[in-house]
Structure 1
């Protein structure tokens, strides 16, 4: 899937005076995981609120469950994404 790409500061990436277009799946995943509920107008319940786990004594399973639920709300499969990330890390 292709879309307009963002830079490391989540600003629109410009190349040669035009929007930079490219594969956007991992960018979308990143934006979802960074978000809180209410930030997405189209799907107000989307947003795992992961910031709340920063200083909390929460186990990995609870965090993973939040990620699974909210990625699924955008039709993304956590296990498939995890495999892609691990593959890229091992071959990157």
Structure 2
């Protein structure tokens, strides 16, 4: 999916005086993982809130929530694993 990109600091990415539009799948995944439900005005139920799971010894609840959120957003999830490293294989259909 293509969208306007943002920088790591959360500012709009601008090059040559214009917004940068490029593949934004990873950006969307990252934003959904860190956002808490209620932070997206247009979609109040969107958001995983990964910081709420960080200290859990079992990340299966976070994996389940991420899988749901990605699917609702139109992604096909091939692999999602938060056991040792965060592995996400999901793309928009």
In structure 2, what is the equivalent of residue 89 of structure 1?
A: none
Superposed displacement of residue 24, structure 1? 1.0
Long gaps (5+) in structure 1: 85-92
Residue pairs, 1:1-40, within 5 angstroms: 1-40=1-40
Superposed displacement of residue 80, structure 1? 6.0
Superposed displacement of residue 46, structure 1? 0.8
The TM-score with structure 1 as length reference comes to 0.77
Contact 1:67/1:78 (8 A) holds in 2: no
Deviations 1:6-62 (A, max 9, x none): 1111210010111111111111111111100001112101111211112233x1322
The TM-score with structure 2 as length reference comes to 0.76
In structure 1, what is the equivalent of residue 66 of structure 2?
A: 67
Larger fraction in helix:
1
**CA-atom RMSD in angstroms:** 2.1
Larger fraction in strand:
2
Long gaps (5+) in structure 2: 81-87
- Match status 1:83 vs 2:89: yes
